[in-house]
Structure 1
């Protein structure tokens, strides 16, 4: 069941929302829900990526927290400029351990 939430916005932002809602042929509420959903998805990815970069969680856990696939998480990290510290030496050590 959907619930209503009231928020205050400055007049400039409301004008921008109204302009875009006309361009997209959407009512203001639908546009705000769409933008909020996109922003929330981005927030989850960014937060999970930061935790991963700090070594707090694994890559698979980051993907899970961001609600995306492992491959999408890797792509997001690469697109945001992350360079892994995982080296050939690390890979050789893992192979030796196996």
Structure 2
């Protein structure tokens, strides 16, 4: 397991301490949990942006987002993203 060190503004450190207290976690566990959740959210947003721009297939976006296709379809629908059609349709159909 690697080690990450970062300087943070005082107000962010105060928020972290509040989170640690509320969640009853040690500081390292809290930071790992927050980092993991934030990166999972980033992967989903990144995949949806690429899908919306037509830069990847639906199945590849689900893989990048690390969610099942049904979850990705729901998220895409909530954001008004249409992925059916265009040049990636055949690729998507072949992958299923």
Give the TM bin, normalised by the shorter chain.
0.7 to 0.9
Query: Residue 59 in 1 paired to residue 65 in 2?
Result: no
1:85 to 1:45, Cα distance in 2 relative to 1, 3 A: closer
- State the Cα distance separating 1:84 from its structure 2 match: 2.3
2:82 maps to which residue? 84
Aligned residues of 2:52 and 2:83 also touching (Cα < 8 A): no
- Is the contact made by 2:50 and 2:56 (CA closer than 8 Å) also made in structure 1? yes
- CA 1:71–1:12: 2 relative to 1, 3 Å: same
Greater radius of gyration (CA): 1
Q: Which segments of 5 or more consecutive residues in structure 2 lack a partner in the other structure?
A: 86-96
Gaps of 5+ in 1: 88-98
Cα-Cα RMSD: 1.6
- 1:69 match: 68
Count of equivalent residues: 85
Q: Does 2:21 align with 1:10? A: no
After TM superposition, which residue ranges in structure 1, 4 or more long, deviate above 6 angstroms?
none
If the length of structure 1 is used for normalisation, what is the TM-score?
A: 0.79
Distance in 2 of aligned mates of 1:85 and 1:28: 41
Query: How has the CA–CA distance of structure 1 residues 85 and 22 changed in structure 2, closer, same or farther, with 3 Å as cutoff?
Result: closer
Q: Equivalent residue for 2:42?
A: 43
Kindly indicate whether structure 1 or structure 2 has the higher relative contact order, using CA contacts under 8 Å at least 6 residues apart.
Answer: 2
